[in-house]
Amino acid sequence: MKFLYVLLDGLGDTPHPKLNNQTPLEVANTPILNNLVQKGVTGLVTPVKGNFPPESDVGVFSMLGYEFGNEYVGRGVIESIGSGFNFNEGDLAFRLNFATIDSNNHVIDRRAGRNLSDDEANIIVNDINKNVKLNDSTYSFIIKNTEAHRGTIVFKRNNGDFSSNISNTDPAVDKFFGFGVAKKLSPGMKLSECKPLDDSINTVISSKIVNEFSIKASKVLLNHPVNIKRRKIDKFEANCLLLRDAGTKLPNIVTINQKYNLKFSCIVDLPVEKGIAQLLNMDSFFTNNLLDYENKALKSIDLLERYDFIYVHLKGPDEAGHDGEVLAKKKIIEDIDKRFFKIFLENNKFNDTRIIVASDHATPCISEAHTSDPVPLLISGKNISADNTTVFSERAVVKGKLGKLYGSEVINLAINL
């Protein structure tokens, strides 16, 4: 049997007053997903155990069957590996955002208007790498831009290890046993100082190095040519770096092929997804861009020739959720239905394919942030005895045959159903 597992990033939502107290998924026109529902079984999934809103890294790990208890290596490590860094135990890795602050260090936009180009980010990064020098030459850093406002940074130390027990400089993300917990950006939030969370020498040193870097990088960004140009055309400046999800260790986990005794591959785009694939020893592929749903569908079919299990991470719903754009999220869901699922089903030549559809976390438009809300799950295809669900939505699947479950249970359930 072949398996296609599709996670729609940030799909889950809650009733919204602009949609007559329905969710974007409930009002979206999704005939293909609804047809799959009518031939399958549904349920409601809490992506990650524990009452906290997960970031995408932990959400994906859990939906792939991996749990980390009360300790996690941090998203910074995952993203650095996915960005091509040579990360070693004891290095200090962060995920970062190019962001916009005002003269009083209030965060205006955590994503520099969502319109920072890769070329602009690359120029900024090159100048930071060139012009920012740490006081102690035994410490160094490498910073990379990855896609749009996203980037990663790794600090290295000639003698000794860093500590990850330090706070974020991003005020909209808290730490919870190594997990990043996103909050809604509220007025008045300021760029945070990196603080040690214990009194050990390595922890104090780590926080000092991060703060020294942040101050010096901000000076480079203040009147950087890229920002001067953006200022003139009324765009948010990328005049600040927000660091979060520090990590210093590699996770010790079994590979996904060994875990399920199947041959896996995936279609992923961003460093966090690539890092997860690399750590799980899952062959990874990509297409032209994040929203290239048609080619992702065709690539999935091509990969089914060589692999047992294809995992596809689809971007789109999450960004609209963060921006509070309910109609945009509805449109993106409809695009995925038409441009991914329809193309896949029209071209799929395998009669024994089982399709799994879910999400890595909820990003309700009313919250504009990740939440711990459960997300809908659909399993359809060969040898599935359908339940009575007729549409794919958060409320409709509550009565589905699968009931309520955790993300770490999904793949085993789909294989053995």
Give residue 181's pLDDT: 81
pLDDT digits (tens, 9 = 90+) for 138-158: 999 999 999 899 999 999 999
pLDDT digits (tens, 9 = 90+) for 404-416: 999 999 999 999 9
For the chain, which domains are there?
Answer: 2-68+253-416 (3.40.720.10), 77-247 (no CATH)
Contacts made by residues 193-200, CB under 8 angstroms, sequence distance 24+? 193/167, 193/169, 194/166, 194/167, 194/168, 194/169, 194/243, 195/166, 195/167, 196/163, 196/165, 196/166, 197/165, 197/166, 197/167, 198/163, 198/165, 200/163, 200/165
Give the mean pLDDT of 33-61: 93
Give the mean pLDDT of 267-279: 95
Look at residue 280 and tell me whether its pLDDT is greater than 80: yes
Amino acid found at 334:
E
244, 255 contact by CB (below 8 A): no
* CA–CA gap between residue 94 and residue 242 (Å, rounded): 9
pLDDT band at 52 (very low <50, low <70, confident <90, very high): confident
> What mean pLDDT value characterizes the chain?
94
Q: Among candidates 234, 231, 209, which has minimal Cα distance to 222?
A: 231
Look at residue 185 and tell me whether its pLDDT is greater than 80: no
Amino acid found at 269:
D
Q: Among candidates 88, 87, 107, which has minimal Cα distance to 98?
A: 107
Q: What are phi and psi of 230, to 5 degrees?
A: -65, -35
pLDDT band at 200 (very low <50, low <70, confident <90, very high): very high
Q: Among candidates 173, 181, 112, which has minimal Cα distance to 147?
A: 112
Give residue 235's pLDDT: 96
pLDDT digits (tens, 9 = 90+) for 338-388: 999 999 999 998 889 999 999 999 999 999 989 999 999 999 998 899 999
Give residue 92's pLDDT: 98
pLDDT digits (tens, 9 = 90+) for 322-336: 999 999 999 999 999
Look at residue 14 and tell me whether its pLDDT is greater than 70: yes
Give residue 33's pLDDT: 98
pLDDT digits (tens, 9 = 90+) for 284-309: 998 878 899 999 999 999 999 999 99
Look at residue 72 and tell me whether its pLDDT is greater than 90: no
